[in-house]
Structure 1
Amino acid sequence: MTENNEELYCIGCGAKIQSDDPEKLGYTPASAIKKGLENDELYCQRCFRLRHYNEVSDVSLTDDDFLALLNQIGSADALIVNVIDVFDFNGSLIPGIHRFVGDNPVLMVGNKEDLLPRSLKRPKLKDWVRQRANAEGIHPVDVLLTSATRGHSLDKLLAAIEKYRKGRDVYVVGVTNVGKSTLINQIIKQSTGMQDLITTSRFPGTTLDKIEIPLDDGSVLVDTPGIIHKDQMAHYLSAKELRIATPQKEIRPKVYQLAGGQTLFFGGLARLDLIAGPKERNGVVVYMENNLQIHRTKLEKADDFFVKHQGGLLQPPTADELGNFPQLARFEFKVKEKSDLVFEGLGWVTVPSGAVVAGYAPAGVGVLLRKAMV
């Protein structure tokens, strides 16, 4: 690879650089390796294409490979910064995280805060995140909200990291697609002035090996690979569909007056049935991506409507993606107080006290009820 056989690593994803097999991780043509070393910017071909052409290649690492790297954390003495997506808590949670964290403190960071409506009470959301974490056996020392893309509250995050790490290393962990590497890019940019050192993308599976960023006191901040959590809406959608389905800008609430026995379809991805309401007309408020198409129909006709129109009038998913899209699973709730019916990865619908509702989402994707945040 080089004259002295020095091992080289991609500064985007951390994969070991090799020029022998285009199908394996870290592949880079020999000419690109030479040029990268000359410019002090050595990227694997996958990261180069991702950065310059927004072209994503599949990752050949297995779940076991990811978990083997994360298992190192349990034996480390470090602060764990766990990044989650505020729109997808269940899908953001690393399966079994409490097992590999060990006795290390956990700082939980809710990303994509800039996409939430301003009317949403941030303290309520932080309390809810803490409660959900506690229910999963995680007891964070603190919960912060941020926006990796916009750098919101970055100063607060850096101060909290410094407060809780107490001179130790910092491991930043998260499942794919939560914005973890984008957040680290912001930290690097603020600390060193370098932009986009770590490859970022809206697609799952960007960071292929842990990347160590030196801190002033000799400790390191470690970006670990994103764990693939299969129960994420993102894994069922193409790049184009993902832009339509998941929030891209601050959400604008949409109000619907529904009678009992009416249904709302959110593209072909999810569904809300108002089985019964406390009033003749019941106001429900939808908080989802502004461009996602919403269709109303009668509950008695909803099943047939869905079969007829999914992939057409009801999309995403498109007709081409239907073969890989799972069946919708149903969750029924009796609402005792004004609540949010949360569709993990999409958003939520605020429903009135006294209603009986059912939410549908792709099998494996969570639907849950929480106290209303707005």
Structure 2
Amino acid sequence: MISETDVKNYLNEGLRCIGCGAEIQTDQPSELGYTPLSALKKGFENDEVLCQRCFRLRHYNEIQPVDLTDDDFRRLLDQISTTDALVVYVMDVFDFSGSLIPGLHRFVGSNPVLLVGNKVDILPHALRRAKIKEWMRQQANRAGLRPIDIALTSGKNGDDVPALLDLIEKHRARRSVYVVGVTNVGKSTLINQIIKDVTGDKKDVITTSRFPGTTLDRIEIALDDQSNIIDTPGIIHKDQMAHYLSPKDLKYVSPQKELKPRTYQLNAEQTLFMGAMARFDYVQGAKTGITAYFENNLPIHRTKLDKADLFYEKHAGELLAPPEKENLVNLPPLKRYEFKTTEKTDIVIDGLGWITVPGQVVVAAWAPKGVSVLTRKAMI
């Protein structure tokens, strides 16, 4: 049995939480890395050294807020440009635009980038992987990225992890590997799958959840005597839908199963509501089919455009949910964005999903003020 003196000695050496990377401390309950000394002793005995935040997140699915800003996270990544390493950039194929890191070149420097499209199991099974990769390459090039290779993975089931590891070994040339990404792209889940594949240990090491910003500091896992795979904190995008929802409602923006596209035959001046979180207006065009790609359990309601404002005012938080009425107060008012399309186009609401429309139409999308809405060449 480990003694209290032994525990204090480990603390003096800079002990870190295996879940989020924060340095463990036992004196300041409101600060990062806090855990009671008694809990820390028990953690050593159970081979699970976690800060109190990670312990409660892992065992009770409770999140405690942290006093870190976006700039704090960026400072932790600044060191990458000064090292010789392979950068594995993990993106969520369901939320590609929301996965982009502004100014990534500043963090990467001259290091090569391996682009990983995670959560590929969510996309419709009939969509060919070669097409997804080519679409990702085009989107990355538009954002100024020139990846040396592209991989598709599912951090959830781990089926593609061996192939990803082969690509990492091919490109890293015995260098360390930095894994970067915004919050909620499944980065830590993917690294847990890598650890399981390499070690054969089926237990998760790194804390994962639907909550944004789970990893708080860099976490290092040895690849060999000279190099490590390093999980970095997720860059927080405040324009993602997840930041405006309660824990109960996050399940509606984080698909766990293959998407089932929903197609609606719409006439001009008809409206769709995605719960109370978003709205789509078919403003002008011939009768046509539009296809919605959202979490399968997210309710979608149709109404007439001229009655949409009153419909929302009357039913938001009840018939139009999520969020429920008690959580609606935390959702900013919906803001309107109008688009004229000339080809098959996705209207994307960051972190929620997208609607595919044909060419030659006028449409409008509404999302909570602060959540990005944009268009892109249709993925599917």
Please report the TM-score for the alignment, with normalisation by the length of structure 2: 0.93
**Conserved in 2, the CA contact under 8 Å of 1:265 and 1:271?**
yes
- Partner of residue 195, structure 2: 188
- Partner of residue 226, structure 2: 218
| d(CA) in 2 for partners of 1:129, 1:360 | 26
- Partner of residue 4, structure 2: none
Q: Greater shift after overlay, 118-127 or 185-194?
A: 118-127
| One-letter amino acid matched to 2:283 | I
| d(CA) in 2 for partners of 1:335, 1:29 | 58
- Partner of residue 117, structure 1: 124
Query: Where do 5+ consecutive residues of structure 2 fail to align?
Result: 1-6
How many Å apart are 1:54 and its aligned residue? Answer: 1.3
| d(CA) in 2 for partners of 1:282, 1:63 | 42
| One-letter amino acid matched to 1:310 | A
How many Å apart are 1:361 and its aligned residue? Answer: 1.8
Distance 1:308 1:254, change over 3 A: same
- Given the alignment, which residue of 275, 298, 319 partners 1:292? 298
Residue aligned with 2:80, SS:
helix
| d(CA) in 2 for partners of 1:270, 1:249 | 21
Query: Are residue 160 (structure 1) and residue 167 (structure 2) matched?
Result: yes
**Conserved in 1, the CA contact under 8 Å of 2:345 and 2:378?**
yes
Residue aligned with 2:27, SS:
coil
RMSD (Å) for aligned C-alpha atoms = 1.7
- Partner of residue 260, structure 2: 252
**Conserved in 2, the CA contact under 8 Å of 1:210 and 1:222?**
yes
How many Å apart are 1:217 and its aligned residue? Answer: 5.1
- Given the alignment, which residue of 99, 104, 120 partners 1:92? 99
| d(CA) in 2 for partners of 1:218, 1:193 | 22
- Given the alignment, which residue of 308, 312, 337 partners 2:314? 308
| d(CA) in 2 for partners of 1:313, 1:114 | 30
| One-letter amino acid matched to 2:310 | D
**Conserved in 2, the CA contact under 8 Å of 1:87 and 1:344?**
no
For each residue in 1:246-266, what CA deviation from the matched residue of structure 2 results, as whole angstroms up to 9, or x when unmatched?
A: 322111121211111101111
- Partner of residue 133, structure 1: 140
**Conserved in 2, the CA contact under 8 Å of 1:246 and 1:288?**
no
Distance 1:128 1:361, change over 3 A: farther
For each residue in 1:313-367, what CA deviation from the matched residue of structure 2 results, as whole angstroms up to 9, or x when unmatched?
A: 2111222222221222222222222332222222222222222211222223232
For each residue in 1:10-39, what CA deviation from the matched residue of structure 2 results, as whole angstroms up to 9, or x when unmatched?
A: 111111111111111111111122222233
- Partner of residue 47, structure 1: 54
Query: Are residue 267 (structure 1) and residue 284 (structure 2) matched?
Result: no
Residue aligned with 1:209, SS:
coil
**Conserved in 1, the CA contact under 8 Å of 2:94 and 2:122?**
no
- Partner of residue 68, structure 1: 75
How many Å apart are 1:211 and its aligned residue? Answer: 0.8
For each residue in 1:74-132, what CA deviation from the matched residue of structure 2 results, as whole angstroms up to 9, or x when unmatched?
A: 10111111111112222212232121211111111111111111133433332232222
| One-letter amino acid matched to 2:273 | F
For each residue in 1:123-145, what CA deviation from the matched residue of structure 2 results, as whole angstroms up to 9, or x when unmatched?
A: 33322322222222221112222
- Partner of residue 378, structure 2: 372
**Conserved in 1, the CA contact under 8 Å of 2:348 and 2:373?**
yes
| d(CA) in 2 for partners of 1:263, 1:155 | 45
**Conserved in 1, the CA contact under 8 Å of 2:242 and 2:253?**
no
Residue aligned with 1:148, SS:
coil
| d(CA) in 2 for partners of 1:133, 1:181 | 22
**Conserved in 2, the CA contact under 8 Å of 1:245 and 1:316?**
no
- Partner of residue 78, structure 1: 85
| One-letter amino acid matched to 2:373 | V
Residue identity over aligned pairs, in percent, reads: 64
- Given the alignment, which residue of 236, 243, 257 partners 2:244? 236
Distance 1:30 1:186, change over 3 A: same
Q: How many residues align?
A: 372
- Partner of residue 324, structure 2: 318
How many Å apart are 1:162 and its aligned residue? Answer: 1.0
Please report the TM-score for the alignment, with normalisation by the length of structure 1: 0.94
- Partner of residue 346, structure 1: 352
Residue aligned with 2:167, SS:
helix
Residue aligned with 1:88, SS:
helix
Residue aligned with 1:87, SS:
helix
- Given the alignment, which residue of 207, 214, 230 partners 2:215? 207
| d(CA) in 1 for partners of 2:181, 2:296 | 26
Query: Are residue 362 (structure 1) and residue 368 (structure 2) matched?
Result: yes
Query: Are residue 29 (structure 1) and residue 36 (structure 2) matched?
Result: yes
Residue aligned with 1:324, SS:
coil
| One-letter amino acid matched to 1:296 | R
- Partner of residue 63, structure 2: 56
| One-letter amino acid matched to 1:43 | L
How many Å apart are 1:241 and its aligned residue? Answer: 0.7
Distance 1:288 1:3, change over 3 A: closer
| d(CA) in 2 for partners of 1:326, 1:92 | 22
Residue aligned with 1:218, SS:
coil
For each residue in 1:240-284, what CA deviation from the matched residue of structure 2 results, as whole angstroms up to 9, or x when unmatched?
A: 111124322111121211111101111111111111223xx3111
| d(CA) in 2 for partners of 1:246, 1:39 | 31
